[in-house]
Amino acid sequence: MRVTRTELGRQIGNVALLHRKLDKLPLTAAAIGSVVETRVDFAVRRIRFAMASYHDSGDTVTRAQLIEDAGIRRVVRWSEVAAALDADLASGHEAPYD
């Protein structure tokens, strides 16, 4: 799941607090800011995770398979996501996370 302010609020059971009162919680705002993922960051993490699963099983992967398994069909046209996908396919990236 993508790390967002809303998802963090769901996990603690108080979404409104993180949306309406975050200005009153500067330490919390800083902590959230350091872990929240952009859509590109999330897509890249999914690519790396899917690539690692192929590496662990010893299977080869095509670009189309990786796009399908990572669930990035809608965002693969973004330049940053396409670059990460191509780089991981070229290098056989092993680590699921940075």
Residue 29 is part of which domain span? 5-35
- 97 lies in some domain: no
Record the pTM.
Answer: 0.73
Q: What is the mean pLDDT of residues 66-77?
A: 92
pLDDT at 29 over 70: yes
Co-location of 44 and 76 in the same domain: yes
Domain count, the chain: 2
Q: What is the mean pLDDT of residues 50-69?
A: 87
- 79 lies in some domain: yes
| DSSP per-residue string spanning the chain | ----HHHHHHHHT-HHHHHHSGGG-HHHHHHHHHHPPPHHHHHHHHHHHHHHHHHHHT----HHHHHHHHT-TTTTTSHHHHHHHHHHHHHT---S--
Higher pLDDT, 58 or 64: 64
Q: What pLDDT is attached to residue 92?
A: 66
Question: What's the mean pLDDT when you consider all of the chain?
Answer: 88
pLDDT range class, residue 98, cuts 50, 70, 90: very low
